[in-house]
A and B are shown apart, each in its own frame.
Chain A
Amino acid sequence: EVQVVESGGGLVQPGGSLRLSCAASGFTFSTYWMTWVRQAPGKGLEWVASIKEDGSEKSYVDSVMGRFTISRDNAKNSLFLRMDSLRAEDTAVYYCARNSYWGFDSWGQGTLVTVSS
């Protein structure tokens, strides 16, 4: 069974940092692009960042460029999102998703990040 499980969310002060993790299982992780999507409370879905199978290509939404870094460890079937200089507007549930057929076919349950003093 394909499964992705996020962890690492929590409460952080503005300007602080956090590292999210996503553990993948049930598929050959190294052969898929992977993506982070977020959803602010009561709001819609927002694509955040994607990374190529071997980590050689990465892309980000403009609002997190220079502050967030997506990475992966194929040996450990894991995806990461390093978030620095966090702002109140980064408060959201962050989902890890597998790219497939130019969409996202498997999602985790999400991890909540709250940026507040």
Chain B
Amino acid sequence: QSALTQPASVSGSPGQSITISCTGTSSDVGGYNYVSWYQQHPGKAPKLMIYEVSNRPSGVSNRFSGSKSGNTASLTISGLQAEDEADYYCSSYTSSSTPFVFGTGTWVSVL
């Protein structure tokens, strides 16, 4: 099972919106509404930001939103803030022998 494909980096200015893509196949992202997104600051544990494509856990800012079209899922951060600078990973359930796969990760920089 190959990792899901994400851009290595995305940047934006404070207040802007950015979108991170996560591309898989019909065996994972495209086949199930089980995509989740994680934020990881350097040296820290990952934090769940979005689950089941577009749902936010309690306590996560509504500036974070998720969507999916075909085999590609997306995470949008609106009103970009300095604290959003971190790595972001997508994950999906898969029908392969390994039930979960992560994306390659995207570093978000706030200019």
B interface, size bucket: 20 to 34
Pick the residue among A44, A60, A100, A102 that contacts B102 (CB under 8 A). A44
Pick the residue among B3, B36, B98 that contacts A44 (CB under 8 A). B3
Residues of chain A within 8 A (CB-CB) of B64 are none
Interface of A is mostly: strand
**Residue in B1, B34, B98 whose Cβ sees the most chain A Cβ within 10 Å:** B98
Residues of chain B within 8 A (CB-CB) of A114 are none
Q: With A44-B105, A109-B45 in contact, is A102–B98 under 8 Å at CB? A: no
Separation of A100 and B89 alpha carbons in the complex (Å): 17
Pick the residue among A45, A102, A110 that contacts B89 (CB under 8 A). A45
Separation of A44 and B60 alpha carbons in the complex (Å): 22
Number of A-B contacts (CB under 8 A): 67
Residues of chain A within 8 A (CB-CB) of B93 are 102
A interface, size bucket: 20 to 34
Are A44 and B99 neighbours in the complex by a CB distance under 8 Å?
Answer: no
Are A102 and B101 neighbours in the complex by a CB distance under 8 Å?
Answer: no
CB-CB contacts below 8 Å: A1-54 with B: 35, 37, 44-47, 50
Instruction: List 18 A-B pairs, Cβ < 8 Å.
Output: A37-B102, A44-B3, A46-B102, A47-B100, A47-B102, A50-B99, A59-B98, A60-B98, A62-B1, A101-B36, A101-B51, A101-B52, A102-B34, A104-B38, A105-B51, A105-B57, A106-B48, A108-B45
Q: Which residues of A contact B (CB under 8 A)?
A: 35, 37, 44-47, 50, 59-62, 95, 100-110
Query: Top 8 A-B pairs ranked by shortest CB distance?
Result: A103-B36, A102-B34, A101-B51, A107-B45, A44-B105, A47-B100, A45-B102, A103-B51
